[in-house]
Amino acid sequence: MEDVLKTAKERAKLWMSGSFDEDTKAQVKKMYEEGGPELIDAFYRHLEFGTGGLRGVMGPGTNRMNIYTVGMATQGLANYLKKQFAGKEMISVAIAYDTRNNSRLFAETAAGIFAANRFTVFLFDDFRPTPELSYAIRQFGCQSGVVITASHNPKEYNGYKVYWEDGGQIIPPHDGGIIEEVKKISGPEQVNYKGDKKLIKRIGEEFDRKYLDEIAKLSLSPRTIKKQRNMKIIYTPLHGTGVKLIPQCLEKFGFENVESIPEQETPDGNFPTVGSPNPEDPAAFEMAIKRGRETGALLILATDPDTDRVGVAVRDNAGNYRLLNGNQTAAIIVYYLLENLRSAGKLRGNEYIVKTIVTSDLISDIADKYGVECYDVLTGFKFIAGLMKELEGKKRFVAGCEESYGYLAGDFVRDKDAVVSSALICEITAWMLDSGKTLFDLLTDIYLEFGLYRELLVSLEKKGRSGAGEIAAMMEGFRNSPPDSICGSDVMQVNDYLKQKSFDTISHLRHPIDLPKSNVLQFFLRDGTKISVRPSGTEPKIKFYFSVNEKLEKREDFEKVSSLLDNKLESLCREFGIK
Active site residues: 151
- Enumerate the H helices of 464-518 as residue ranges: 464-480
Q: Residues 443, 562: contact at Cβ < 8 Å? A: no
Beta strand 233-236 with 299-303 is: parallel
- To which H or E segment does residue 244 belong? helix 242-253
Determine phi and psi for 24, rounding to 5 degrees: -60, -45
At 412 the three-state DSSP class reads coil
- d(CA 43, CA 276) in angstroms, rounded, equals 26
Q: Residues 289, 298: contact at Cβ < 8 Å? A: no
Count Cβ atoms below 10 Å from residue 560 Cβ, excluding itself.
11
Q: Is 96 exposed, middle or buried (0-12, 13-18, 19+ CB in 10 A)?
A: buried
Beta pairing partners, 485 = 490
At 67 the three-state DSSP class reads helix
- Angle of CA points 74, 5, 58, to nearest 5°: 35
Contacts 24+ apart (CB under 8 A), 58-62: 58/101, 58/102, 58/156, 58/157, 58/158, 59/27, 60/15, 60/24, 60/27, 60/28, 60/31, 61/11, 61/12, 61/15, 61/28, 61/31, 62/11, 62/15
Contacts 24+ apart (CB under 8 A), 478-485: 478/521, 478/533, 479/521, 482/521, 482/523, 483/523, 485/525
- d(CA 446, CA 305) in angstroms, rounded, equals 31
- d(CA 8, CA 359) in angstroms, rounded, equals 41
Task: Give residues with Cβ within 8 angstroms of 255, minimum separation 6.
Answer: 225, 229, 231, 233, 426, 430
Please, how many CA atoms are within 13 Å of residue 284, restricted to the half-sphere of its CB?
27
Torsion sign (Cα): 353, 357, 360, 362: positive
- To which H or E segment does residue 553 belong? none
- Enumerate the H helices of 35-157 as residue ranges: 37-43, 67-84, 103-116, 130-140
Contacts 24+ apart (CB under 8 A), 349-354: 350/394, 350/395, 350/396, 351/395, 351/396, 351/397, 351/398, 352/391, 352/395, 352/396, 352/397, 352/398, 353/398, 353/399, 353/400, 353/401, 354/384, 354/387, 354/388, 354/397, 354/399, 354/400, 354/401
Count Cβ atoms below 10 Å from residue 187 Cβ, excluding itself.
15
